[in-house]
């Protein structure tokens, strides 16, 4: 594997690549970074899905998909994520490396050309995307929101984030609301597309078994042709203190109740204290050997899952669990009690070493998957774009006991969210 | 001495070794340049094995539903502590799962691989069940069952399996019910353990960065030879027909979800690598995003790209093709799929559709070899089904349209199809 390389394509457009012939595939993505705002969330979210539906060269959904099928089922898809308060619009292609094509096709050239085609050369008439595809993608985006409601674990987690971060962009839906999507007009999408190409910063990632040079040149030619101006520069906000605890219970006809608790940790990347928070969260609820797993699940038998996760960009930590309605209070008390133990340094040196091993194992595994590598480097965009997982592992290993306790002491409970129901109780 | 055979694949540049270990265990070793190494130790024993007869006994035994999964949870505990606690010393990321026909224990790691391997081989061979430890698990698994009760995807699948199958235990929830697991005792767990966790009924697969000789010497040290006992799985006869053609359930969902299944007759063994490859190609030709069917469903606004899919659901004594997704009109989707199947039977597959479908399956099979966990999971499930991974990939690359069409003789028959739908409550 080669080291990660970073260069600039043009103003605001960065290019990172890792060439690695251990993979049988290549993955190329362009990820546009826009401020997450209520007025623009829905149109920005729709845009990459609309772009990957067809393009001037393959003007029809079926034609485009036949082309992908011929390229050994290459994948062309879009995704919307939040990187803190930034809305990231991703468009990616992934497919076999040249070596494995059965008829000598130049796969990585094909993939890179296709990605540029859909991003820069969409099918348009009178500066509008085709009506039929536009309506289809609107419907599908609204159905994505419906489907997130169907999964109660995801739904409860999202509700807690919304309530906790209601005064920050992060509290907004990454896709906008159904109402906002429904009200979009085709001209909104033209404007969003033009703004994205002209002014949005973007991160291009080229990973795996392919030569990044031609990809770099394709993108620099395309951006040069399109022109860039008024490049945006967005950063998120970090709320350090919790204030008064928000406590919300919502009812639904569910069998198992969900408990989600949101905490402010008082620090975010790239601050020096972040590795200690990561380690603290791992010891607290990050593995089957963590305090939450061993106590709330194993000792008290209250749940099947109870775990913590830390978002280093926003400096917030969540604990999630699925419990019987009558046990929510006991579970919550125990979750708080275990955090108090962390604050008071009630943990062994062994627990520290074990959490370090477990986290480092995860970091060292990143280089085995192109999706994981892409996710890793994109998450580091605003803090340290060339920070390798191996380097992060070293930093984690340097964290001391007192740093862990200090990190825990800064943690403040911000929001308690419960989704409760008793469906089937008297069955 | 172990007997070792090398399996090479010119198409993929990869190779692995199969080892017949003197203990009775089949071992698969797939060396690969990778930061992590993945090991999986499994038994051909899953939720459907609730009635069986050992070769050294005359009477069949029936056990409570959900016991294979319960056993998986309890095996992590031994007299001297929990396996997760031991793995914590090596940093390995460990887990386990129970499916319809197998139970597997696995870990992945980037260091201390041989120590983790010893932990894996040790705890899976060291059952320890007491009244107290068995009782404790009822609360945890009870919550796991209740989590699935709220999962509309899980509900719609088991509703469908209940429609398709009259007697086959594939229609029973893998974890059982709160009532069935209340009947589980240490004695029953030992009975199942001693029957199915016999090395002759198990396999070990390792993919990634390791030294073959060192792995084999650890196996020599750790594996306890099993008695040559075999086990017969007993299933009540399953009629060719479906139990019922439809079911509907209401749950808190925003959009209806459906599964449409086509049951096929099963006699004797499992589908071969070649048959599996042909079915996979057939289903892509019929319903991939490049197909006319997909386009018409999308144009009518009755499927979405995020959820619509199809799979070949196949195991001991059961086989069905299942289409699934979210839809505001599931019956219209079912009708369109049925029409397209009629058309496929009548007109055959076009050259273009066949080539597209074959390329898609070939591409995804090669891409799956990027991941050590994919490789090891595939090899072990193929091993329990009597199939081999590279022959599957070769069968895809060499498939011909006539053999693919011949699969329709037993597959996608409208007379043995059923649908299940989960609808919003109000």
For every residue of B105-121, DSSP letters joined together read EEEEESS-HHHHHHHHH
A29 - beta bridge partners? Answer: A92, A205
Q: Is residue B294 one of the residues assigned to a domain?
A: yes
Average pLDDT over every residue of A282-300: 92
Residue A427 binned pLDDT confidence (cut-offs 50, 70, 90): very low
Q: What is the pLDDT of residues A233-284, one digit of tens each?
A: 888 899 999 999 999 999 998 889 999 999 999 999 999 999 999 999 999 9
CB atoms within 10 A of CB A131: 10
Q: Is residue B220 one of the residues assigned to a domain?
A: yes
**pLDDT for res B143:** 87
**pLDDT for res A426:** 41
B315 and B174 in one domain?
no
Q: Is residue B175 one of the residues assigned to a domain?
A: yes
3-state class (DSSP) for residue B232: strand
Cβ neighbours of residue B42 closer than 8 Å, sequence gap 6 or more = B102, B103, B104, B105, B202, B203, B204, B205, B380, B384
B86 and B221 in one domain?
yes
Average per-residue pLDDT for chain A: 95
Q: Is residue B288 one of the residues assigned to a domain?
A: yes
Q: What is the pLDDT of residues A63-99, one digit of tens each?
A: 999 999 999 999 999 999 999 999 999 999 999 999 9
Note if B187 is an active site residue.
no
Looking at residue A73, the DSSP 8-state letter turns out to be S
A66 contacts B356? CB cut-off 8 A: yes
B380 and B303 in one domain?
yes
B185 and B301 in one domain?
no
* Residues of chain A neighbouring B285 (CB-CB closer than 8 A): none
* Residues of chain B neighbouring A110 (CB-CB closer than 8 A): none
3-state class (DSSP) for residue A27: strand
* Residues of chain A neighbouring B93 (CB-CB closer than 8 A): 287, 358, 361-362, 365
A152 contacts B370? CB cut-off 8 A: no
**pLDDT for res A424:** 64
B304 contacts A139? CB cut-off 8 A: yes
Let me know: does B20 contact B3? Beta carbons within 8 Å: yes
* Residues of chain A neighbouring B84 (CB-CB closer than 8 A): 288-289, 293
| First-residue to last-residue Cα distance in chain A | 57
Q: Prior bond to A132 cis, omega within 30?
A: no
Q: What is the pLDDT of residues A21-60, one digit of tens each?
A: 999 999 999 999 999 999 999 999 999 999 999 999 999 9
| First-residue to last-residue Cα distance in chain B | 66
Cβ–Cβ contact A152 with B under 8 A: yes
Question: Can you give the CATH number for the domain in which B84 is found?
Answer: 3.30.830.10
B296 and B186 in one domain?
no
A151 contacts B299? CB cut-off 8 A: no
Q: Is residue B11 one of the residues assigned to a domain?
A: yes
Cβ neighbours of residue A188 closer than 8 Å, sequence gap 6 or more = A43
Q: Which residue of A has its CA nearest to B250?
A: A253
Burial class (CB in 10 A: 0-12, 13-18, 19+), A126: exposed
Domain boundary among B233, B254, B282: B233
**pLDDT for res A425:** 54
B307 and B162 in one domain?
no
Residues 4-33 in A contacting B (C-alpha not used; CB under 8 Å): 22-25
B258 and B201 in one domain?
no
Domain boundary among B233, B262, B285: B233
Half-sphere CA count of A362, side-chain side, radius 13 A: 15
Residue with tokens 């009244």: B131
B360 contacts A69? CB cut-off 8 A: yes
Cβ neighbours of residue A325 closer than 8 Å, sequence gap 6 or more = A257, A420, A421, A422
Q: Using only the alpha carbons of chain B, give its radius of gyration.
A: 22
Q: Two tokens at A93?
A: 């292609």
B344 and B196 in one domain?
no
B250 and B229 in one domain?
no
Query: How close is the nearest chain A Cα to the Cα of B414, in Å?
Result: 27
Q: Is residue B241 one of the residues assigned to a domain?
A: no
Round to whole Å and give the CA distance between A78 and A80. Answer: 7
| DSSP codes joined into one string, B318-352 | EEEEEEEEE-S-HHHHHHHHHHHHHHHHHH---HH
Handedness of CA A192, A223, A388, A404 (dihedral sign): negative
Alpha helices (runs of H) in A291-409, residue ranges in sequence order: 291-292, 328-343, 349-365, 370-379, 389-397, 401-409
**pLDDT for res A423:** 77
Domain boundary among B181, B204, B233: B233
Q: Is residue B37 one of the residues assigned to a domain?
A: yes
> Nearest Cβ partner of B289 from A65, A297, A423?
A65
Q: Give CATH for domain A5-226.
A: 3.30.830.10
B254 and B150 in one domain?
no
**pLDDT for res A18:** 97
Query: How close is the nearest chain A Cα to the Cα of B259, in Å?
Result: 15
Residues 267-306 in B contacting A (C-alpha not used; CB under 8 Å): 284, 288-290, 292, 294-295, 298-299, 301, 304-306
Cβ–Cβ contact B343 with A under 8 A: no
Cβ–Cβ contact B20 with A under 8 A: no
Domain with CATH 3.30.830.10 in chain A: 5-226, 246-420
Q: Is residue B139 one of the residues assigned to a domain?
A: yes
Q: What is the pLDDT of residues A2-13, one digit of tens each?
A: 789 999 999 999
3-state class (DSSP) for residue B38: strand
Average pLDDT over every residue of A342-361: 96
The whole-model pTM stands at 0.95
Cβ–Cβ contact B365 with A under 8 A: no
B145, B249, B363: best mutation site toward chain A, by most A Cβ within 10 Å? B363
Let me know: does A268 contact A312? Beta carbons within 8 Å: yes
* Residues of chain A neighbouring B11 (CB-CB closer than 8 A): 100
How many independent structural domains does chain B possess? 2
Q: Prior bond to A304 cis, omega within 30?
A: no
Residue with tokens 């839906």: A173
The size of the A-B interface in CB pairs under 8 A is: 200
B275 and B178 in one domain?
no
Round to whole Å and give the CA distance between B157 and B249. Answer: 12
A25 contacts B370? CB cut-off 8 A: yes
**pLDDT for res B80:** 78
The ipTM is 0.93
Cβ–Cβ contact A424 with B under 8 A: yes
B38 - beta bridge partners? Answer: B108, B207
Q: What is the pLDDT of residues A79-89, one digit of tens each?
A: 999 999 999 99
* Residues of chain A neighbouring B304 (CB-CB closer than 8 A): 139-140, 143-144
A98, A147, A181, A371: best mutation site toward chain B, by most B Cβ within 10 Å? A147
A22, A72, A330: best mutation site toward chain B, by most B Cβ within 10 Å? A72
* Residues of chain B neighbouring A177 (CB-CB closer than 8 A): none
Cβ–Cβ contact B397 with A under 8 A: yes
B140 contacts A297? CB cut-off 8 A: yes
From the list B171, B160, B173, B174, the residue with the least C-alpha distance to B311 is B160
Q: Mean pLDDT for each 10-residue chunk of chain B (426 residues)?
A: 92 96 96 97 98 94 97 91 92 96 98 97 96 90 88 96 98 95 96 96 98 97 91 94 97 94 92 97 97 97 97 97 98 98 96 96 97 98 97 96 95 97 92
Assign domain A246-420 to a CATH class: alpha beta
| Range(s) of the domain holding residue B36 | 3-233
3-state class (DSSP) for residue B231: strand
B404 and B266 in one domain?
yes
Q: Which residue of B has its CA nearest to A101?
A: B363
B371 contacts A369? CB cut-off 8 A: yes
* Residues of chain B neighbouring A324 (CB-CB closer than 8 A): 143, 146
Catalytic residue among B72, B137, B278, B314: B72
């Amino acid at each position: 594997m080669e080291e990660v390389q970073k260069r600039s394509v043009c103003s605001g457009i960065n290019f990172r690549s890792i060439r690695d012939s251990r993979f049988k595939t290549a993955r190329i993505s362009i990820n546009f970074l826009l401020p997450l705002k209520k007025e623009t969330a829905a149109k920005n979210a729709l845009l990459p899905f609309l772009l990957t539906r067809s393009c001037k060269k393959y003007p029809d959904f079926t034609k485009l998909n036949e082309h992908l099928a011929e390229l050994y089922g290459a994948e062309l898809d879009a995704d919307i994520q939040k990187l803190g308060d930034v809305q990231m619009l991703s468009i990616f292609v992934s497919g076999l490396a040249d070596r494995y094509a059965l008829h000598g096709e130049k796969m990585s050239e094909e993939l890179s050309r296709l990605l540029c085609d859909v991003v820069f050369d969409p099918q348009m008439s009178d500066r509008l995307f085709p009506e039929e595809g536009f309506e289809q993608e609107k419907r599908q985006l609204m159905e994505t929101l419906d489907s997130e409601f169907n999964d109660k674990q995801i739904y409860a987690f999202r509700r807690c984030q919304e309530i906790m971060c209601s005064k920050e962009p992060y509290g907004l839906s990454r896709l906008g609301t159904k109402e906002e999507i429904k009200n979009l007009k085709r001209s909104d999408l033209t404007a969003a597309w033009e703004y994205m190409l002209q002014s949005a910063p973007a991160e291009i990632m080229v990973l795996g078994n392919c030569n990044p040079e031609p990809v770099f040149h394709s993108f620099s030619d395309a951006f040069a042709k399109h022109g860039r101006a008024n490049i945006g520069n967005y950063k998120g906000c970090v709320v350090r203190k919790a204030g008064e605890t928000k406590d919300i219970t919502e009812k639904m006809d569910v069998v198992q109740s969900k408990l989600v608790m949101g905490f402010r940790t008082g620090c975010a990347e790239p601050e020096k204290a972040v590795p200690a928070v990561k380690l603290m969260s791992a010891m607290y609820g990050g593995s089957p050997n963590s305090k939450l797993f061993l106590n709330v699940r194993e000792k008290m038998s209250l749940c099947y899952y109870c775990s913590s996760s830390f978002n280093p960009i926003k400096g917030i930590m969540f604990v999630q669990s699925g419990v019987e309605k009558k046990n929510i209070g006991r579970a919550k008390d125990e979750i708080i009690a275990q955090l108090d133990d962390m604050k008071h340094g009630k943990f062994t040196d062994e627990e520290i070493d074990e959490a370090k091993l477990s986290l480092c194992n995860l970091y060292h595994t990143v280089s085995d998957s192109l999706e994981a590598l892409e996710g890793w480097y994109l998450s580091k965009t605003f803090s340290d774009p060339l920070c390798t997982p191996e380097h992060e592992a070293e930093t984690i290993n340097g964290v001391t006991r007192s740093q862990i306790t200090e990190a825990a002491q800064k943690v403040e409970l911000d929001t308690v969210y419960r989704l409760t129901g008793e469906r089937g109780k008297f069955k | 001495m172990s007997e070792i055979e090398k399996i090479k694949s010119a198409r993929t540049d990869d190779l692995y070794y199969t080892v017949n270990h003197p203990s009775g265990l089949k071992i698969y070793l797939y060396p690969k340049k990778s930061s992590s190494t993945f090991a999986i130790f499994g038994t051909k024993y899953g939720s459907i094995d609730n009635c069986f007869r050992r070769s050294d006994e005359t009477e069949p035994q029936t056990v409570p539903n959900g016991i294979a999964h319960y056993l998986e949870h309890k095996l992590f505990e031994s007299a001297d502590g929990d396996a997760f606690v031991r793995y914590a010393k090596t940093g390995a990321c460990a887990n386990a799962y129970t499916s319809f026909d197998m139970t597997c224990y696995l870990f992945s790691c980037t260091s201390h691989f041989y120590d983790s391997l010893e932990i894996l081989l040790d705890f899976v061979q060291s059952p320890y069940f007491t009244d107290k430890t068995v009782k404790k698990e009822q609360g945890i698994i009870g919550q796991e069952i209740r989590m699935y009760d709220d999962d509309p995807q899980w509900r719609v699948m088991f509703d469908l399996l209940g429609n398709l199958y009259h007697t086959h235990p594939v229609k029973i929830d893998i974890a059982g019910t709160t009532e069935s697991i209340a009947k589980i005792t240490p004695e029953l767990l030992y009975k199942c353990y001693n029957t199915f966790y016999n090395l002759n009924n198990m396999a070990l697969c390792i993919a990634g960065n390791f030294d073959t000789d060192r792995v084999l010497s650890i196996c020599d040290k750790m594996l306890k030879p099993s008695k040559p006992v075999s086990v017969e799985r007993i299933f009540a006869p399953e009629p060719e027909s479906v139990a019922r053609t439809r079911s509907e359930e209401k749950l808190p969902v925003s959009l209806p979800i459906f599964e449409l299944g086509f049951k096929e007759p099963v006699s004797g063994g499992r589908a071969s690598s070649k048959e599996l490859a042909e079915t996979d190609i057939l289903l892509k030709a019929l319903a991939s995003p490049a197909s006319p069917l997909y386009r018409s469903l999308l144009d009518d606004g009755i499927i979405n790209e995020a959820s619509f899919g199809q799979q070949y659901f196949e195991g001991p004594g059961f086989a069905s093709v299942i289409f699934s997704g979210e839809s505001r009109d599931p019956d219209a989707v079912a009708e369109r799929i049925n029409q397209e199947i009629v058309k496929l039977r009548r007109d055959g597959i076009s050259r273009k559709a066949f080539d597209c479908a074959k390329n898609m399956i070939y591409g995804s099979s090669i891409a799956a070899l990027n991941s050590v966990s994919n490789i090891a999971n595939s090899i072990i499930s193929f091993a329990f089904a009597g199939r081999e991974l590279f022959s599957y990939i070769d069968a895809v690359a060499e498939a011909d349209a006539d053999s693919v069409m011949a699969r329709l003789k037993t597959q996608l028959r409208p007379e043995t199809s059923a649908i299940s739908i989960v609808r919003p409550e109000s």
